[in-house]
Structure 1
Amino acid sequence: MTNPYAVLCIIGSCISLQVGAALAIQLFPHAGTWGTASIRLLMAGLILMVIVRPKFHTWTRKQWFGVALFGASLGLMNGFFYNALSLIPLGTAVTIEFLGPLALAAFLSRSMRDAACVGLALLGMVLLGIESFSGDSLSPLGVVFVLIAGAFWACYILASKNVGSLVPGQGGLAVALLIGGTLISPLSGTKALVVFTDWNLFALAMGTAVLASLIPYSLELVALRRLGPNVFSILISLEPVFAGLFGWLLLSQNLSALKISAILLVVIASIIQTVAKPGMKLPAPEPDTDSAGPLYPPARKRTLRQRLKRVSNVSR
């Protein structure tokens, strides 16, 4: 059975991340998309560094390499996703981006059930495509950006799982956030510094850092320590639901019947993965209580007992 604590962490991450994304969109006109992503990651990293104080000077080369890959995937995933959000609605963007984790789950599991889930998600993408021709059109560049973000999302899941096993606590995440923010900061230039010139913008940036980075990535790191990457990739499909909901509540973005249908198809894929019974495992062989170990099999053991008995009889 799926760890309930891990599922609660994923739900909390989805809610926090989408509220943070809704706040981040308000920063785009001031700090730009790359600038907003960079400032958000750097602020979250600094806050977490102060809280956990990681002993990174004791890390091995393998640990540093894992954290560096984690940070790169974080930075590029967020940068491309925010560029997509500037062109297409939040709910639609997250639904398309989810193709990355879902494809990862199918690749890792390689079962008919996972193939069916991928088919349901692709059907949801077809519905979004139909709407782009019959209703609100989707920006082709925005779709490209969000597909790239989805690919880095899959990389993020694998990298986060790796860091969770290599580095104890939240220290690896703290350093990865700083690496990701620093990596994409040159793409924003000096435009992102505008958040430090106005208290309202600074408060908005701080809220985005906490809600869109610090809380969700900490919860996901905890969840990935308890779940396999394939299970996590399917359960995180709840994110498009919350993205559409908060895009409608906070950003007044249209939530049409086709968009709702597309989101539901992705959720159904998640439900199939969650409630499906795992395959039967062969029971472990019972230990041979009559065995004296690999050097003394049962037959040999009995022979030694007989010999000892004979020796004792002679001595009497």
Structure 2
Amino acid sequence: MPNLKSAPHLQAIVLLFIAMISIQSSGALAKSLFDQFPVLTISAMRLLLSSLILAVIFKIWQVNFKQVKWSAIASYGIALAGMNGLFYLSIERLPLGIAVSFEFIGPLSVALFHARQKFDFVWVGLAILGLILLFPFDQAAQSLDPIGIVFALGAGACWALYIVAGQRPSGVSGNHTVCLGMFIGMLCLMPITLFSGMPSTIFEPSNLVYFIVLAILASALPFSLEMVALRNLTALSFGTLMSLEPAIAAFSGFIFLGEQLLWTQWLALITIICASIGCTVTIQKARQNKSATPSNSP
């Protein structure tokens, strides 16, 4: 059994997998709140509470703010705000599986951009095939809300920016980067939320509990884990491994919501998982070969 502590790449994959499960398990909770509160209010509260939770856990007051590279933090925070807000707006108009499929175009584009070797294109190609098979064509036969599609594609673009921005040096630790980024993301959404009207019932204890749980499952925990993973994964491997996201979403819908999968979608899950495993093994072998190659320098 491999030692995860001595294999940061494998450790990053495990953390990323936990993060994806956490995000998808929070989807059902978020959708249950859509009938009671405006979508952007839910997204803003999610980021606000997440940033406050992380600020306490990681002692944000100990940060040397003179070392913070605010341009990196700002781009990361804007990406978080767009990714969260636009995705919630999209699933308000589209079925979850379709929205996730459109959104994933973002990280997949990052993976394609960084693909260099033959096997890179093989694994990315398999991920694309899996996404095509995952698309519920029986539902697509009905008219899809074009605004919902635009929201999903916008969320995907922000997801791509999130991957790139998360790898930029911010001058502080990864956990503090997530905390500050979430706070900036909240500042981006909160004015819109206040202008559109924020129900006072949000702060009732019975409702606040749901938002705190949502903040932990959907933001605080997964984004912290992803930040650690981003430091030990290439943009290519991260983008390809994130293809598991719609697969996990499909599994979550099947297990928690009783959504039935087509045989093509089961095949899609197998294809996407093979692509993610293949990408992981290929990159791990490339790193081992590179470290084993003797240096020519004296």
Q: Which residue of 2 aligns with 1:131?
A: 138
CA distance 1:130–1:90, change in 2 (3 Å): closer
CA distance in 1, matches of 2:44, 2:244: 26
TM-score, normalisation: structure 1: 0.80
Q: Which residue of 1 aligns with 2:54?
A: 48
The question of whether the paired residues in 2 share the 8 Å contact of 1:248 and 1:255 is answered with yes
CA distance in 1, matches of 2:249, 2:23: 9
CA distance in 2, matches of 1:144, 1:228: 28
CA distance in 2, matches of 1:121, 1:41: 30
CA distance 1:258–1:186, change in 2 (3 Å): farther
CA distance in 1, matches of 2:243, 2:21: 12
CA distance in 2, matches of 1:254, 1:88: 17
Q: Which residue of 2 aligns with 1:87?
A: 93
Q: Which residue of 2 aligns with 1:285?
A: 296
Q: Which residue of 2 aligns with 1:67?
A: 73
Matches within 5 A, 1:136-175: 138-163=144-169, 166-175=171-180
Verify: 1:30 aligned to 2:41, yes or no: no
CA distance in 2, matches of 1:250, 1:195: 27
Q: Which residue of 1 aligns with 2:216?
A: 210
CA distance 1:257–1:185, change in 2 (3 Å): farther
Q: CA deviation at 1:61?
A: 7.3
Q: CA deviation at 1:124?
A: 4.0
CA RMSD of aligned residues (A): 2.5
SS of the residue aligned with 1:283?
coil
The question of whether the paired residues in 2 share the 8 Å contact of 1:89 and 1:247 is answered with no
CA distance in 1, matches of 2:15, 2:171: 20
* Greater C-alpha radius of gyration: 1
Deviations 1:109-165 (A, max 9, x none): 33333333443344345442743444x6543332221111111111101111214x6
Query: What letter is aligned with 1:16?
Result: S
The question of whether the paired residues in 2 share the 8 Å contact of 1:95 and 1:263 is answered with no
Q: Which residue of 1 aligns with 2:3?
A: none
The question of whether the paired residues in 1 share the 8 Å contact of 2:243 and 2:276 is answered with yes
CA distance in 2, matches of 1:57, 1:9: 24
Verify: 1:15 aligned to 2:57, yes or no: no
| Structure 2: 5+ residue stretches without partners | 1-6
CA distance in 1, matches of 2:297, 2:18: 42
SS of the residue aligned with 2:167?
helix
Larger mean CA deviation between 76-85 and 255-264 belongs to 255-264
Q: Which residue of 2 aligns with 1:310?
A: none
CA distance 1:169–1:2, change in 2 (3 Å): closer
CA distance 1:214–1:139, change in 2 (3 Å): same
Q: CA deviation at 1:76?
A: 0.4
SS of the residue aligned with 2:108?
helix
**Quick one: percent identity of the two aligned structures?**
35
Query: What letter is aligned with 1:174?
Result: C
| Structure 1: 5+ residue stretches without partners | 288-316
Q: Which residue of 1 aligns with 2:274?
A: 268
CA distance in 2, matches of 1:202, 1:138: 33
